[in-house]
Amino acid sequence: MSLEQYVANSIIELAPVFATFYLVALGHSLFEKAGLLDLAIDGVFFMGSSIAVRAAVASGSPIVGTVVAAIVTMLLGVALAFLMTYLPISHGAIGLSMMFLGYGIGIIVGYPARLEVGSIAMYAYSEGWAIAIMAISIAIGATVHIILKYTKLGAAIRACGENPHAASSLGVNVLLTRLIAGAVGFAIMGAGSSFFTLAWQKFWDPKSYTLGYGWLAFTVALTSGRHPIVLMPISLVFGGLIFYRVRIGVMYGVEKDVANLVPFIAALAAMLICYATKLKKVLAPPASLGKVYYKEERTV
Amino acid sequence: MSDEYIVLKEISKRFAGGVVALDKVTIDIRMGEVLALLGENGAGKSTLIKILYGVYSADEGSIYINGRRVDVHSPTEAIKYGIVMVSQHPQLIDTLSVVENLALGLRNFNAFTSIRKISSFILEKSREFGVKVDPWEKVWRLTYTQKQLVEILRAMLLKARVILLDEALTYLPLEEKKKFYKFIKEFTAKGGSTVVITHKIPEALDVADRIAVLRRGRLVGIVEGTSARIEDVRRMMFGESAAEITYEKLPASQPGGRVVIETQDLWVTGDFGEDAVRGVDLRVREGEVVGIAGIVGNGQRELTQALMGLRKASRGRILIDGRNVTNRGIHEVREVGVGYIPDSPLALGISIDNSMAENIAALYQRKSALINWSEVYKVASSLIETYRIVIPGADSLIKVLSGGNIMKAVVSKEINYCKKALIAHNPTRALDEVSAAMVRRSIKEKAINNGVAVLLVSEDLDEIYQVSDSIHVMNSGKLYGPFPPDEAERSKVEHLMVI
Ligand SMILES: Nc1ncnc2c1ncn2[C@@H]1O[C@H](COP(=O)(O)OP(=O)(O)OP(=O)(O)O)[C@@H](O)[C@H]1O
Ligand SMILES: [Mg+2]
């Protein structure tokens, strides 16, 4: 195999991995930029990837799978954003409940479809899609970045994350802004999670398919300071480590279990670098992330 | 009457814990007037204008604008009616730029308009209003005055017809304040209306066309600004307690020989890397009140924070009660028995998400593994009583208190805590006149009766003269003085403040 071929193959292999991590982390970041703490991520991830299977099997098209997953998770995002903004209850509690709800829905909705058809490979995206999926993900990310950084809506989202009381006083409709961030953020997460089953794994066996990939995306978002552009290289490196961990292990003669730790060690290292340097300020979390907001609270 | 622009009719508001903040208050705001809204701490002033600005909603009563009944559910809606509020604490987003902050409320641009485009509109307008601020500067880099300027500019950009100022001008330096008042005069001359809340009563009498007084949630009355006498207004505000207001010089203390607060060639770096404090030598003896006068932003904040161990000294030494505490951190300083009333009480003075009792426990029982709650509650109730803090109970969260009562909670726990020294920066900010007089008296009593060394930093020169035994001036990080506190030399002090 020539070098070019090798690189091309790697890109095609890695594209769905990148797209999964990047989009889930991106949607999650957008949601959190508005001050909404997202502990539902792993449940949403699982639910999205499973609903995608169900819809793809039912329609025969992976694209329908992705779209349906995005729509369903979007509804969940709207519900979460509403509850977290309108009620004086803990973001953590609602988020974790939603996580378990996501697991439940995922198993009930998706798995029967998988059993019915035996293998999901024929309903998944073909290899020809890999580059397109990667390109679309990057385009979505760039759009989110431009909106967040350069538009009035973006300023409103960031304002809600920093100080929703002040934002409201400045004339921002906090509820509406957060509903938008919730809808768009979760739709992106849903689309990303659909690529997990339909473009990356292309098979679904509960024995090898464990929960927890959502938390990996969570780590990616955290490491990148929720920044749409910084997320790109971090998702790629992180996705690559996850994807190649076994091969890396074999290459350097390390045990499989140790090799499995590599992505997490890399994440830890990246976080340490972020927080020990000036990057800390640039990538700081929104000041009101996870704080209860409701109108009659004092706005000193 | 046709010139009644807004009428607040029989507004009532109760808060959790049975607090009646407003009880059937009816007030009209007329076109082209300055209406002063006065009352003691906790009277309901902020609540009333927050209802008009849509921050809170009234339990009962209605709002009429131009004779039409309206509902104002949010600031966004209030802005639509041309009502804009500016409060004592700038309600701006620190991490956003000036233009981003200003853009948020503008309805003539849709959500996807680029900030760059909005910025040219804002620049053009600010030139029109004669306001100079860099629109791309991040808000956290602005001074307090600049932030308030941005808030006023915001009101103009939003085409405000009614500006609500909740102690918004009270704490600006004198020169700036004059400019703002001039601006308000022009605004009302063009038909705009302004509601001014302040605890500086002479100032209110000076600018107001009419004066409305609230007391314990009720409207006491409305009087004409031109004919009102200050004693009558004070009596309306405080009743019998008005007699406690005094600006007379307090008795001098007899300082002992021991130096309790001492700095030697102290240099402190400010937030932007500049030398904020430049070679300060200061000595406060036991039982003595040393005042530091000066215009805000001349290094006072950095000096007091360095004394408390909250900011690094880049050079020099700090000795408290003979102990070298330079750069040792606040714990060591607190250990000696130092009380601290910070310039930004919400950030450094108290945790508003905790109760009065918890805040007291955190300070008074820092070292014990188990908290002696009965002790804590004893302290809490005695402070609430002595300082007449309007609070449902020692278990109430600080954030439900009125602005002045939050300050009273900070001040009372610190004055009571100090054993050797008290570092007080603007200790009567946000307090009504009766409370302010009481706080000044208790500070002086601590010095006289308990031998506490007091460093009083204040932008209010009258306050400095009333309490201090000797006076310094701080200007551009340098300390001048000491000067004796007799009025004869006051012009010299005033001069040093502005050179
Ligand atoms: N969000 C809230 N929750 C509970 N109680 C509140 C709330 N806001 C205000 N209060 C109570 O309502 C009363 C009136 O408060 P308000 O802030 O209107 O007083 P104020 O006249 O502005 O006083 P100050 O001069 O101290 O600012 C106080 O007793 C206060 O404790
Ligand atoms: Mg108030």
Please state, for a pLDDT cut of 70, what percent of chain A lies above it: 96
Any ligand 1 atom below 6 A from CB of B403: yes
Specify whether B237 is located in the same domain as B319: no
Per the listing, tokens 């001014």 go with B196
What residues of B are in contact with residue A171 (Cβ under 8 Å)?
75-76, 79, 104-107, 158
CA of B352 to the centre of ligand 2 (A): 15
Specify whether B365 is located in the same domain as B450: yes
pLDDT surpassing 90 at residue A213: no
Specify whether B137 is located in the same domain as B265: no
Using a 10 angstrom Cβ sphere, with 0-12 exposed, 13-18 middle and 19 or more buried, the burial of residue A277 is: exposed
pLDDT surpassing 80 at residue A207: no
- The answer to whether the Cβ–Cβ distance between B111 and A156 falls below 8 Å is yes
CATH domain A3-282 topology: ABC transporter involved in vitamin B12 uptake, BtuC (1.10.3470)
pLDDT for res B489: 81
Among residues B423, B428, B172, B143, the alpha carbon closest in space to that of B303 is found at: B423
Domain end: B214, B243, B272, which one? B243
Residues A110 and A65: their CA atoms lie apart, in Å, by 11
Any ligand 1 atom below 6 A from CB of B404: yes
Residues B261 and A1: their CA atoms lie apart, in Å, by 78
Helix (H) or strand (E) holding B157: helix B144-157
pLDDT for res B344: 87
Residues A36 and A178: their CA atoms lie apart, in Å, by 8
Decide if B13 contacts B22 (C-beta within 8 A). Answer: yes
- The answer to whether the Cβ–Cβ distance between A152 and B104 falls below 8 Å is yes
List Cα–Cα distances, B261 to B322, B326, B327, B412, B454, in angstroms: 8, 12, 15, 21, 9
Q: Is A297 on the interface with B (CB under 8 A)?
A: yes
Specify whether B345 is located in the same domain as B445: yes
Domain extents in chain A: 3-282
Residue B253 lies in a domain: no
Any ligand 1 atom below 6 A from CB of B41: yes
Please identify among residues 150-179 of chain A the ones whose CB lies closer than 8 Å to any CB of chain B: 150-153, 155-156, 158-159, 162-163, 165-173
Taking CB atoms within 8 Å and a gap of at least 24, the contacts of A202-209 are A202/A120, A202/A121, A202/A124, A203/A119, A203/A120, A203/A121, A204/A53, A204/A110, A204/A111, A204/A114, A204/A120, A206/A111
Per-residue pLDDT of chain B (499 residues; tens, 9 = 90+): 446 789 999 999 999 878 899 999 999 999 999 999 999 999 999 999 999 999 999 999 999 999 999 999 999 999 999 999 999 889 999 999 999 999 999 988 999 999 999 999 998 888 887 778 889 999 999 988 889 989 989 998 999 999 999 999 888 888 888 888 998 999 999 999 999 999 999 999 999 999 999 999 999 999 998 889 999 999 999 999 999 999 989 999 888 889 999 999 999 999 989 999 999 999 999 999 999 999 999 999 999 999 999 999 999 999 999 999 999 999 999 999 999 999 988 889 999 999 999 999 999 988 888 999 999 999 999 999 999 999 999 999 999 999 999 999 999 999 999 999 999 999 999 999 999 999 999 999 999 999 999 999 999 999 999 999 999 999 999 999 899 988 778 889 999 998 8
Decide if A85 contacts A31 (C-beta within 8 A). Answer: no
**Residue to mutate (ligand 1; options B8, B15, B38; most atoms within 8 A of CB):** B15
Which residues are paired to B4 by β-bridges? Answer: B30
Specify whether B354 is located in the same domain as B432: yes
Specify whether B221 is located in the same domain as B276: no
pLDDT surpassing 60 at residue A298: no
Sheet strand arrangement including B453-458: B338-341, B421-425, B453-458, B289-293, B470-475, B478-483
- The packing angle between helices B433-450 and B403-417, to 10°, is 0
- The answer to whether the Cβ–Cβ distance between B85 and A169 falls below 8 Å is yes
How many CB atoms sit inside 10 A of residue B251's CB?
9
Q: Which of A150, A171, A300 sits opposite B75 (nearest CB)?
A: A171
Specify whether B351 is located in the same domain as B463: yes
**Residue to mutate (ligand 1; options B27, B47, B198; most atoms within 8 A of CB):** B47
Specify whether B302 is located in the same domain as B226: no
pLDDT surpassing 70 at residue A295: no
pLDDT for res A296: 62
Helix (H, G, I), strand (E, B) or coil at B106: coil
- The answer to whether the Cβ–Cβ distance between B50 and A158 falls below 8 Å is no
Upper half-sphere CA count for residue B457 (Cβ side, 13 Å): 26
Specify whether B374 is located in the same domain as B290: yes
Task: Give the domain extent around B202.
Answer: 4-243
* A110/B98: higher pLDDT: B98
Any ligand 1 atom below 6 A from CB of A205: no
Q: Which of B75, B95, B111 sits opposite A151 (nearest CB)?
A: B111
pLDDT confidence band for A209 (50 / 70 / 90): low
pLDDT for res A299: 44
CA of B317 to the centre of ligand 1 (A): 43
Task: Give this prediction's pTM.
Answer: 0.90
Domain end: B180, B214, B243, which one? B243
What phi and psi values does residue B311 have, to the nearest 5 degrees? -145, 140
Residues A71 and A66: their CA atoms lie apart, in Å, by 9
List Cα–Cα distances, B231 to B206, B226, B235, B242, B487, in angstroms: 14, 14, 6, 8, 25
- The answer to whether the Cβ–Cβ distance between A162 and B400 falls below 8 Å is no
Decide if A44 contacts A98 (C-beta within 8 A). Answer: yes
Specify whether B45 is located in the same domain as B192: yes
Residue B334 lies in a domain: yes
Any ligand 1 atom below 6 A from CB of B402: yes
ipTM (interface pTM): 0.89
Give Cβ neighbours of residue A244 (< 8 Å, ≥ 6 apart).
none
Which residues are paired to B483 by β-bridges? Answer: B471
Q: What is the total count of domains within chain B?
A: 2
Among residues A226, A203, A223, the alpha carbon closest in space to that of A154 is found at: A226
Provide the mean pLDDT of chain A: 90
Q: Is the peptide bond before B482 cis (omega within 30 degrees of 0)?
A: yes
CA of B491 to the centre of ligand 1 (A): 39
Q: Look up the CATH number of the domain holding residue B265.
A: 3.40.50.300
Q: What is the mean pLDDT of residues A257-281?
A: 78
Q: Which of B89, B106, B113 sits opposite A300 (nearest CB)?
A: B89
Residue B249 lies in a domain: no
Specify whether B234 is located in the same domain as B296: no
Region of poorest pLDDT, from A51-60, A248-257, B259-268: A248-257
Alpha-carbon distance A280 to nearest alpha carbon in chain B (angstroms): 14
Q: What is the mean pLDDT of residues A109-115?
A: 86
Determine how β-strand B193-197 pairs with β-strand B34-38.
parallel
CA of B344 to the centre of ligand 1 (A): 19
* Ligand of minimum distance to the alpha carbon of B398: 1
Domain end: B243, B274, B290, which one? B243
pLDDT for res A297: 54
Specify whether B271 is located in the same domain as B410: yes
Helix extents (H) in chain A: 3-33, 41-59, 62-86, 91-117, 130-150, 152-162, 164-169, 174-195, 213-223, 231-252, 256-276, 279-282
Decide if A223 contacts A266 (C-beta within 8 A). Answer: no
Q: Give residue-wise pLDDT tens across range A237-246.
A: 989 988 888 7
Decide if A251 contacts A157 (C-beta within 8 A). Answer: no
Per the listing, tokens 């130092």 go with B338
